[in-house]
Amino acid sequence: MTSGRVTIADVARRAGVSTAAVSKVVRGAYGVSAEMQAKVTQAIDELGYRPHAAARALRGRTYTLGVMLSDTRNPFFPDIIEGVTGRLGDTEYQVLLGPGGIEPKTQARMTDAMIDRSMDGLILISPVMSDAELAAIATAIPIVVVGRHGGAAAYDAVVDDDVMGAGLVVDHLVGLGHTRIAHITHLERARAQGLPHTVRAEGYRQAMRAHGLADDVLATSFTEEGGFEGARELLARDDRPTAIFAGADIAALGVLRAADEAGLSVPEDLSVAGYDNIGIASLKRISLTSVDQDGHVIGATAARLLVERIEGRSRSVTSSVSPTLIVRGTTGPPRR
């Protein structure tokens, strides 16, 4: 132990072979006899050798995949991450997460940082960047974009079918007898296209139109406060809606608070639905009707596509995951 770290040279010396041979064994490359395989594996075990990723990076793979998180606070990230790591659990790949923040600039910085750390591929979750920027990144490294609709040719994409999800909610509410159904969406300053909230709002409009109903979209923000403010405005109207569909559960929680404060009981006076089916939506005290996008499947799919891409596929793929509606206690027939 000269310097603490066991290198490939130490293993080679111990096994009485060349470093090149050890490298072959480690990588499972072609041209190794069974005997060589055994000798080297034994030496590796005895010495506790682990390949040094940085050194590897200089020539070949690094076996590291990065996941850029746009907003650490987003409650369904854990599901996606679990899906990713679950899928990769039995491979040699390791997953590292990069907190990218919500600004395009900080996200770009994080993406660069991950490229500089020579990761083999990147999964970008709901990135807030222009399509051009994404395409540029895709030339430097294989990427899979999660949560952006209209994926380009340069990269793979995994999306929740947000049009369908919004449709499920509207159909459900209309089925209960609602006609005045409002939608609260997120007001985005960044010039990014195909973000989930945009598509959800569009899906809502389509579904309302399909039922011959007038749409009513209010843009605040996907926060508890945003939902609260939006609902307060909607509920102050003369012909106030009998149902509010918030584009995100966190906003729906704000809607519930506004209903409480206005003395309206849910779902008798007001039905409320959200999107994302975050963990607390299922708590008895909340019991929020919501659209569930299977984060586990989304993450696993993204991981699969990325590995495929890294290992050679060149044709680009967009995978759409179907959401399901989870009906709970916050929606019911309108009081007539």
Partner DNA sequence: ATTGCTGTGTAGAACGTTCTCCATTGTTAG
Partner DNA sequence: CTAACAATGGAGAACGTTCTACACAGCAAT
Residues that bind DNA (CB under 7 A): 3, 5-9, 17-21, 23-24, 26-27, 29, 31-33, 35-36, 49, 51-52, 55-56, 58-61
Residue 100 · residue 111 · CB < 8 Å: yes
Closest CA to 185 of 216, 159, 161, 151: 216
Residue 26 interface partner, choices a second copy, DNA, none, CB cut-off 5-8 Å depending on type:
DNA
Give whichever of 80 and 307 is closer to DNA, judged by the CB atom.
307
CB of 12 to DNA, least distance (A): 7
**94: helix, coil or strand?**
strand
Residue selected from 85, 111, 220, 331 as contacting a second copy according to rule CB under 8 A:
85
DSSP state of 185: E
> Binders of a second copy among 227-266, rule CB under 8 A?
253, 256-257, 260-261
Residue 98 interface partner, choices DNA, a second copy, none, CB cut-off 5-8 Å depending on type:
a second copy
Closest CA to 305 of 144, 165, 176: 144
Residue 60 interface partner, choices a second copy, DNA, none, CB cut-off 5-8 Å depending on type:
DNA
> Binders of a second copy among 179-218, rule CB under 8 A?
none
Residue found under tokens 């109207």: 237
Strand order of the β-sheet with 217-220 is 217-220, 181-186, 243-246, 271-275, 289-292, 324-326
Residue 156 · residue 145 · CB < 8 Å: yes
β-pairing, 217-220 vs 94-99, is unpaired
Residues that bind a second copy (CB under 8 A): 4, 50-55, 57-58, 62, 64, 66, 69, 72-73, 77-78, 81-82, 85, 94-99, 101, 110, 112-114, 116-118, 140, 224, 253, 256-257, 260-261, 279-280, 283-286
